[in-house]
Each structure stands twice: as structure tokens, then as C-alpha cells.
Structure 1
Amino acid sequence: MTTRTDVVVIGGGQAGLAAGYHLRRKKLDFVILDAQGTPGGAWQHTWDSLHLFSPAAFSSLPGRPMPARPGPEYPGAGHVVEYLSDYEQRYDLPVHRPVRVRRVRRDGDRLRVETDTGVWSARAVVSATGTWWRPFLPAVPGRNAFPGRNAFAGRQLHTTGYRRPADFAGQRVVVVGGGNSGAQIAADLTTHDDIDLTWATQRPPRFLADDIDGRALFDAATARRRALDEGRTDTGGVASLGDIVAVPPVREARDAGLLKASPMFTRLTAEGIEWADGTRAAADAVIWCTGFRPALSHLAPLGLRGPRGHALTHGTRAVEEPRLHLLGYGDWTGPASATLIGVGRPARDAAGEIAELLGR
């Protein structure tokens, strides 16, 4: 059975909800298909101590400010899940879950969205699946895996699998990655005295100034996009400021001398890690905080091509398939669009272009 609608939004996290808000304002007929069984997107799967980079007032989706709560200035992941659940209910967004989208195909003047519960036929599609569901593990050119990764006898997990320090009590743990996730998880592990921590990074960590938070990052990303659009010199955006936001737990661990980075090792051994000079260290677990890639396998039948695996876009619209918009995957689909505060503007633009495409 095939169900027809104007727009199918794939993904019910923050980007999908922002799209739904603006599609509703355009009075379009749409559905949001979410693979998760409950509201909250990827936020319901993060580690226990994760907090936002910004206060609640600067972490809101369009139309509804995130409420403040007692305690730390920066809200935790649980608070974000509550906010997204409330947002979905407040605007009565038509979210269907759990529904896993398998493929999107061209079907004449429409797009065919095939799921594990049926088929939808849409005049436009917004892909808002994010990156959490496609963790990236490093490899060496010409090889399928980082040297020795299959030989290591201990436990290996990605950022997506980490929850709390207590899970590693009494162990020797290697955290790999010099970005925010690596720094935050390394700092989290320092709260347990019986954990022997090694933090390995490709280059010395670059901490942003302590007074910089998500507000400044959004401004930097927006200024970079404006400069590029106007043909001016690339400002470098967020990357020009540093790699790691010094949120309170990271700052405390750094200032206490507990957050010291080691150069990246060259291979794993059965017992641990080994550097280029032959120095070795034993390890019970390795946590790969090595980033993510866009979760776009459902779009493979469309045959979209672009640099670094990204479909070519004009704003959020796919150049090779103008009925498709990509939302929330990072700066290539809108400045800071992978953040709560940043996704609203590209979501508004996408809804506006879709309404124009449909003659509304």
C-alpha cells in the first residue's frame, strides 16, 4: 500500500522537528518518519554526563525557547530529550515511529520513500537523519582498518557506545580523538581515581578560550557562510577558534593537570598500543572518539555525487535532485545546522523552497 503526501521528512530529531515546524507554517501536508521508538533523536543515546555548549536560552528550536532548569548553566542531554518531546507535542507534529526508511527512489514526478512499514509517495523529501548513526573509525590508506585493530584483545567502542566512567572502573583506558567528544569523555574518566587514562590525539589539543560557548560558535559559523556566499575570504569559521570547547568539566580536568594528551600511537597490539618509536602501553579498552559521517545510505538509489561523499547542495537543496533537501548535517547544509540553535534558519529556508516548488 502506498500513502501519498506533499512532503516526507526522514528523521524525528532536532532537524526533523525544525523542518516540521516550518512546513506546518507553510500549511503543507507532511509526515515525519522516525526510526527511534521514542522522541529525542540521538540525544537519548549519549553518555550520562554530556551537556550542551550553551545556556538553554541559546539552544532553542524555532518557535519555542528551551526552558531553563535549576543546576548547571548548560543543560544536560536528558533536559534536551524532554524539550524535544515537549516540542513535538506542542506543535502536534505528525511523527510516525518507529519507522525505518530503507530507500528513496525517483518515481516520475514524485519521490518514492520505502520503509519497513510501507511506502510513501511524496512531492518532496527532507532528509534529516543526522550523523550519530554512522560512527567513523579511522583507517590507514590502502587498508580496511587501523593497524592492529583486529588484533587487540581488549574492548573497543566508539563514542556512541560510551555511557559512564563506572563501566571502566579499575581499567587502563585509551581515548582517541582531539575534538569535543574525546576531551569530554577523557575528562569524564578522570573523575574515577582507579582508571588509568591515556588520551591520544593527532595534534596537540586546541582549547577554545574559556569564555567561548555555543553562542560564539554559531556566530562564527554564520559569519563564515556569509563571507563565502559573498565571495569574500574564508574566515575559517569555528575551526579558526580551536577544536575543543572548554565546558566546565573539561576546564576543571585540564586545570587540575589531569587532561594531558599523548601523541597518536601508530598501531594496536594484542595487549595495548604502540608508538612509532616502539614504546608500548597496556590497555584494557580503547574508546574511538573519531567523529561521524552523514547517515545517507537511504539516498543511494538517487545516485547523488559530490566531494567527500556529500551530495552537492545549494543551501539545503540537492543540486542533482531539487525535490530533495538535506538538513542538519553540518555547515555544508547550513551554518551550524547540526546544532539546536543553528538548524532553525536552514529549516525555514528548506520549507520555503519546498512550498515554492509545490506552488504554495
Structure 2
Amino acid sequence: MGAAAVRAVDVVVIGAGQAGLSAAFHLRRAGLEPDRDFVVLDHAPRPGGAWQFRWPSLTYGKVHGMHALPGMELTGADPARPSSEVIGGYFDGYERTFDLRVHRPVDVTAVREGEGGRLRVETSEGVYAPRALVNATGTWDRPFWPHYPGQETFRGRQLHTAGYPGPEAFAGLRVIVVGGGASATQHLLEIAEHAAATTWVTRREPVYREGSFGEAEGRAAVALVEERVRQGLPPRSVVSVTGLPLNDAIRAGLANGVLDRQPMFERITPTGAVWADGRTVDADVILWATGFRAAIDHLAPLRLRGPGGGIQVEGTRAVLDERVHLVGYGPSASTIGANRAGRAAVREIRRLLTHGPSGTDETGGTGTGTGTTGTADGAGTVDGAGGTAGAGAAGGAGAAIAAGGTGAAGESGGPSPEPVPARSSAVTA
């Protein structure tokens, strides 16, 4: 498609991670043809969503709760292989099996109001004019870096888990790991085997969870998270209501002192950090395991954000524009949640394509209005749940993996919950 061309389609899906591929599968199942009725755009250079950017030491055997894409199971994977290879290959095979024809690499720069009731999706390969949009861009290109006094004076290295090079890179170094989610604990346990010294700091005292975490527990946890959003409060991560899983690795880390958590430092110095009581720790590296934010800047021209900075969502549908669906966010930013969100979005889109927008029924009738609005600021997103900005992948890992996530405080992680349907939630960058 030429740069000046405008191509009309029924649906544009932005992102080819778990949520985007799930939506594409259900669109195809509904009778829509790829590259004729809908297109899938992905910023990443190859299949795999956010998984393709995972560090090599995150082997498939360390991934727990990876939920298969709809219609095709992931079986026979070698647990010793890097998860990036296993799941990248799985996504690649999935795209080919269902002939989803993902366009990549494609950057989505903006989504605007178009002509004739359509949206205008501006991309690096041209302009699309869809009747509906599935936004599955995730979080991977939006790492969250909190600011602390003196941060700019630190003479060592600061990096975010988004750029985690693997534990060997910390050999012989003194490392401070910041963050209370599953990503922080996993990285810390790996790094401790190579580093000269490690210090773990969190804003809140970690809470550990024993026992199984099944479907019922997941639904209950999601309900608690969504209730905060419904009240207009900053949402927290699922781990904030479930706690960190007390598995064998965590038990060992607690026993040997690696997971001896310290309260948050007061400020950063050129050589490390200092606490309110005057205690200091020298460090060569500060690793920020503080999660990510939703990659939704390209939606800014649609003015979907509320006063608190969030996009109010009913199910998957943006309250202020029912043509726009956001999947792979909040409680649906887990692998099972992404699958269900993709299916739910397509169900709503089929209604839209058949009957037209609410209030403007194409058959001449009068539709119904949208529900109440409201937003929540500081919405947490899940570490690794998403893909790349512009046209990245959402739901790739989600709360289902050991990589954790962020809440309003930038600390989370946890198991893979099911979303609770028919609830409001907010998405915040």
C-alpha cells in the first residue's frame, strides 16, 4: 500500500501478541477475511509478541500459566529452551496455521476521526480507514521509571527490566533491585548467583501466598482490582490482592537471605543509596523492576482519556467511542484474559458492523447510549503483558508469567486470572 493510499477495511487490529492474535482468530472465525475485511499490524520484526524480547535465562520451564491461543495448543515444548524461542515459534506457527497475514514491521503513528463514520489509522505503510479498531499494543515499549532524589548523580549503571541482559552481566557487581513484583524476585534470585552483593528494596512489605490459585481465586482477585477502578481509585495489580507465590525458589531465597527485603531508600547517591535512618548501601547497578505503562499514545487524537488520564472501558469497548476496543489490559492482561478479551471484542464488533453505532442504527432504528463514564489515574499494567508501542503486541505474557507487573505503585506480578465480564475498567498510560 502506498504512503498516500487510504484503504477501507472493516477492522484494524493493532498488535500481534496474545490478545491481538486472539482477536484475529475470532474475526476469521466470524467470516472476515484477512487483508480484505481486516488487517493485523505489528511493530515487532517477527512473531512472538513481547516474548521475543525476553532474556535467554527465562526458559520455558520457568514460565507458569502460559495459556494457549484459541484453536491451537502449545505442546511438547522443551522446558530448557528460552521462552522467547518456544513461544515465538508457537506464535509463528499460529499465524501461518490460521493464515492471519500479519503486517510487520509496521508503526502506527496515530488513530484519528476519519470520514464517513470511519476511523483513520495512520501507519508507516499507509493509511487505513476501518469501521472498528482492536487496540492490542500492550506495554513493552513503555517501561516505567520512577524518580528519586539524586537519581541523576548515580555514577553506576541504571537499567530497567525491559533491557535486562541476563544474570551473567552482573557478575562481581553490587546490585540494588527495586520493585515488589514477581519480576523483581525472579531477577534477584538469578542475579544473586553471580553478583558480589544484592539488595532488594520495595515500597511495601511483600505478601506471600501459599496454596493453589485456581479459576475461582483468579476471578475474586480480578473483582477486587476492578472494584477500585469502578470507584475511580487508582487500580492495583492482581498481586496486590493475591501476594507473591510461595514456591520453592522463593522459599530458598527467603532462607538464604537473598529475599531479605529492605524498605524504600530515601535518595540515591553517586555511589549507591541512603535510607531515612542514615544507613547507606554502595552499588554498581540499580535495576528498576518497576513495570510498564500502556502504549496508547497513538490513540490521543480520539480524546478518549477522562479527567484522571485513563480510558474508561466497558468490557473491552471504550465508553467514549464504541468503535474502539482495548484488549490485553488491566485484568485482561493475562494470557487467558487476553484470549477472552479478544473473543469479547469481536462479538461487540460484529454487532457494530451489522447494526451500526449505538444511536445511529443503520437499519433506521434508535440504538442505546453508552454507560456511565469515569476514569482512574495511575492504572497499573502487567510487566511483559504487552508488546511494542505503536503497533506492538499485548497480552504476550501478562500476569501469567514470572515476570510480574506494575500497579499504581509500580509493583506487582502474580498468577493468571480470568477477567470478570460486564465490569468497567480503566486503562492509563
Specify the alignment match of 1:125 in structure 2. 133
Conserved 8 A contact 2:181-2:239: no
CA 215–180 in structure 1, closer or farther in 2 if over 3 Å, else same: farther
CA 208–357 in structure 1, closer or farther in 2 if over 3 Å, else same: same
Give CA deviations for 1:219-264 in whole Å, capped at 9, x if unaligned. 44466589999x9xxxx99446533234554343234332211111
How far residue 213 of structure 1 moved from its aligned partner, in angstroms, is 5.2
How far residue 39 of structure 1 moved from its aligned partner, in angstroms, is 0.5
Equivalent-residue separation in structure 1 for 2:54 and 2:162 (angstroms): 7
Q: Which amino acid aligns with 1:198?
A: T
Conserved 8 A contact 1:172-1:195: yes
Equivalent-residue separation in structure 2 for 1:228 and 1:98 (angstroms): 37
- 2:29 aligned to 1, 19, 25, which one? 25
Specify the alignment match of 1:36 in structure 2. 44
CA 251–15 in structure 1, closer or farther in 2 if over 3 Å, else same: farther
Is residue 92 of structure 1 aligned with residue 107 of structure 2?
A: no
Counterpart of 1:89 in 2: which secondary structure?
A: helix
Question: For residues 316-335 of structure 1, what are the structure 2 equivalents within 5 Å?
Answer: 316-331=316-331
Equivalent-residue separation in structure 2 for 1:213 and 1:78 (angstroms): 27
Paired residues, number: 339
Equivalent-residue separation in structure 2 for 1:117 and 1:224 (angstroms): 42
Specify the alignment match of 2:370 in structure 1. none
Specify the alignment match of 2:209 in structure 1. 208
How far residue 161 of structure 1 moved from its aligned partner, in angstroms, is 0.9
Equivalent-residue separation in structure 2 for 1:274 and 1:312 (angstroms): 40
Equivalent-residue separation in structure 2 for 1:191 and 1:212 (angstroms): 28
CA 111–79 in structure 1, closer or farther in 2 if over 3 Å, else same: same
Counterpart of 1:96 in 2: which secondary structure?
A: coil
Unaligned runs of 5+ in 2: 356-429
CA 188–283 in structure 1, closer or farther in 2 if over 3 Å, else same: same
Counterpart of 2:153 in 1: which secondary structure?
A: coil
Conserved 8 A contact 2:265-2:276: yes
Is residue 352 of structure 1 aligned with residue 367 of structure 2?
A: no
Equivalent-residue separation in structure 2 for 1:244 and 1:328 (angstroms): 22
Specify the alignment match of 2:63 in structure 1. 52
- 1:83 aligned to 69, 77, 90, which one? 90
Counterpart of 1:341 in 2: which secondary structure?
A: helix
Q: Which amino acid aligns with 2:160?
A: H
What is the TM-score when the length of structure 1 is the normalising length?
0.86
How far residue 75 of structure 1 moved from its aligned partner, in angstroms, is 8.6
Q: Which deviates more from structure 2 when the two are superposed, residues 105-114 or residues 298-307? A: 298-307
Specify the alignment match of 2:16 in structure 1. 12
How far residue 212 of structure 1 moved from its aligned partner, in angstroms, is 3.3
Compute the RMSD of aligned alpha carbons. Answer: 2.7
Equivalent-residue separation in structure 1 for 2:56 and 2:263 (angstroms): 28
Specify the alignment match of 2:177 in structure 1. 175
How far residue 198 of structure 1 moved from its aligned partner, in angstroms, is 0.6
Equivalent-residue separation in structure 2 for 1:217 and 1:6 (angstroms): 38
How far residue 345 of structure 1 moved from its aligned partner, in angstroms, is 1.4
- 1:2 aligned to 6, 17, 20, which one? 6
Conserved 8 A contact 1:53-1:247: no
Conserved 8 A contact 1:60-1:66: yes
Counterpart of 1:253 in 2: which secondary structure?
A: helix
Q: Which runs of 4+ in 1 moved over 6 A?
A: 225-229
Conserved 8 A contact 1:52-1:77: no
Counterpart of 2:257 in 1: which secondary structure?
A: coil
Give CA deviations for 1:99-121 in whole Å, capped at 9, x if unaligned. 00000001131000001121111
Conserved 8 A contact 1:224-1:237: no
Equivalent-residue separation in structure 2 for 1:70 and 1:216 (angstroms): 30
Give CA deviations for 1:282-312 in whole Å, capped at 9, x if unaligned. 1111011111111101001011123653201
Equivalent-residue separation in structure 1 for 2:237 and 2:42 (angstroms): 31
CA 314–329 in structure 1, closer or farther in 2 if over 3 Å, else same: same
Conserved 8 A contact 1:128-1:327: yes
Structure with bigger RCO (C-alpha 8 Å, 6+ apart): 2
Q: Which amino acid aligns with 2:283?
A: A
How far residue 195 of structure 1 moved from its aligned partner, in angstroms, is 2.8
Equivalent-residue separation in structure 2 for 1:244 and 1:182 (angstroms): 11
How far residue 188 of structure 1 moved from its aligned partner, in angstroms, is 1.1
Equivalent-residue separation in structure 1 for 2:149 and 2:104 (angstroms): 40
Equivalent-residue separation in structure 2 for 1:92 and 1:125 (angstroms): 20
CA 202–226 in structure 1, closer or farther in 2 if over 3 Å, else same: closer
Equivalent-residue separation in structure 2 for 1:214 and 1:200 (angstroms): 30
Specify the alignment match of 1:114 in structure 2. 122
Equivalent-residue separation in structure 2 for 1:132 and 1:96 (angstroms): 19
Counterpart of 2:169 in 1: which secondary structure?
A: helix
Unaligned runs of 5+ in 1: 139-144, 332-336
Question: For residues 215-230 of structure 1, what are the structure 2 equivalents within 5 Å?
Answer: 218-221=218-221
